Structure 1
Amino acid sequence: MNGPASVSDAARAWQGPRPPWHGRYVTLDGMRGIAALAVALFHFNISQAPHGYVAVDFFFALSGFVLATSYLPRWQAGMGTGEFMLKRLVRLYPLFLVGVALTTVVGLARLHSGGDTSLSLRTILISTGINAAMLPSPLTNTLFPLNVPAWSLFYELVANFLMIVLLFRLPRVGIALVCALSAWWFVPAVVDNGSGNIGAVWHEWPIALARTLYSFGIGMLIARMPQPEHRPSSWVGVACLVAIAAMLMADPQFLSATAYDLACALLVSPLLVWCGSRFEPSRRFARIAWFVGEVSFALYAVHWAVIEPMRYFKDDLHYNAVLMAFVFLGACLAIAWLCVRWIDVPARTLLSGVLRRREKAQRLRHAALP
Structure 2
Amino acid sequence: MTETVVSTTQPQPVPAAPVQVAPVKRSGGRLRALDGLRLIAALMVALYHYGGRGGEVTKAWGSPADQQFPTLHTPFAYGCLGVQVFFVISGFVICMSGWGRPLRSFFASRVSRLMPAYWAAVLLVAGVFALPWVAYRTVSPSDALVNLTLLQQPLGVDRVLGVDWTLWAEIRFYALFALVVVLPGATRRRVVMFCACWTLAAAIAQGAKMPLLDIVLMPEYAPFFIGGMGLYLIHRDRRDATAWGIVAVSFLIGQHYAVRDLWNVSDPHAFAHRTSYGIILVVAFGFLAVAAIALGWLDRANWRWLTVAGALTYPFYLVHEHLGWVVIRVLHRDLGLPSSATFVLTIASMLTLAWLLTRFVEDRLTPRLRTALNRS
CA distance in 1: counterparts of 2:297 and 2:220, whole angstroms: 27
Question: C-alpha offsets along residues 189-230 of structure 1, whole Å, 9 cap, x if unaligned?
Answer: 9xxxxxxxxxxxx99x7599223321111111111225379x
Per the TM alignment, residue 292 of structure 1 is displaced from its structure 2 partner at its CA by 1.5
1:175 aligns with 2:195: yes
1:133 aligns with 2:149: yes
Q: 1:324 aligns with which of 342, 345, 350?
A: 342
Classify the secondary structure of the residue corresponding to 1:280: coil
The answer to whether the 8 A contact 1:306-1:328 is kept is no
Q: 2:233 aligns with which of 210, 214, 224?
A: 224
Q: 1:180 to 1:83 in 2, by over 3 A?
A: same
Q: 1:186 to 1:281 in 2, by over 3 A?
A: farther
* Structure 2 equivalent of residue 97 of structure 1: 119
Q: Residue type of the partner of 1:335?
A: L
Per the TM alignment, residue 290 of structure 1 is displaced from its structure 2 partner at its CA by 2.2
1:149 aligns with 2:163: yes
* Structure 2 equivalent of residue 351 of structure 1: 369
Q: 1:146 to 1:355 in 2, by over 3 A?
A: closer
Per the TM alignment, residue 157 of structure 1 is displaced from its structure 2 partner at its CA by 1.1
Let me know the Cα RMSD of the aligned residues. Answer: 3.5
* Structure 2 equivalent of residue 304 of structure 1: 321
Greater mean alpha carbon deviation, residues 38-47 or residues 92-101: 38-47
CA distance in 2: counterparts of 1:131 and 1:105, whole angstroms: 13
Question: C-alpha offsets along residues 89-128 of structure 1, whole Å, 9 cap, x if unaligned?
Answer: 111100111111111012212xx347235x5xxx421221
Q: 2:35 aligns with which of 29, 34, 38?
A: 29
Q: 1:44 to 1:186 in 2, by over 3 A?
A: farther
CA distance in 1: counterparts of 2:112 and 2:173, whole angstroms: 16
* Structure 2 equivalent of residue 108 of structure 1: 130
Per the TM alignment, residue 184 of structure 1 is displaced from its structure 2 partner at its CA by 8.2
Q: 1:42 to 1:225 in 2, by over 3 A?
A: same
1:291 aligns with 2:292: no
Structure 2 gap ranges (5+): 8-26, 53-72, 185-189, 239-262, 266-272
* Structure 1 equivalent of residue 5 of structure 2: 4
**Matched residue pairs, number?**
293
CA distance in 2: counterparts of 1:288 and 1:183, whole angstroms: 41
Higher helix share: 1
Q: 1:270 to 1:182 in 2, by over 3 A?
A: farther
CA distance in 2: counterparts of 1:146 and 1:355, whole angstroms: 26
Per the TM alignment, residue 138 of structure 1 is displaced from its structure 2 partner at its CA by 6.7
Q: Percent same amino acid among aligned pairs?
A: 21
Say which structure, 1 or 2, has more relative contact order (CA 8 Å, 6+ apart).
Answer: 1
Q: Residue type of the partner of 1:264?
A: V
Structure 1 gap ranges (5+): 7-20, 190-201, 230-250, 360-370
TM-score, length-normalised on structure 1?
0.69
The answer to whether the 8 A contact 1:159-1:212 is kept is no
1:276 aligns with 2:293: yes
TM-score, length-normalised on structure 2?
0.68
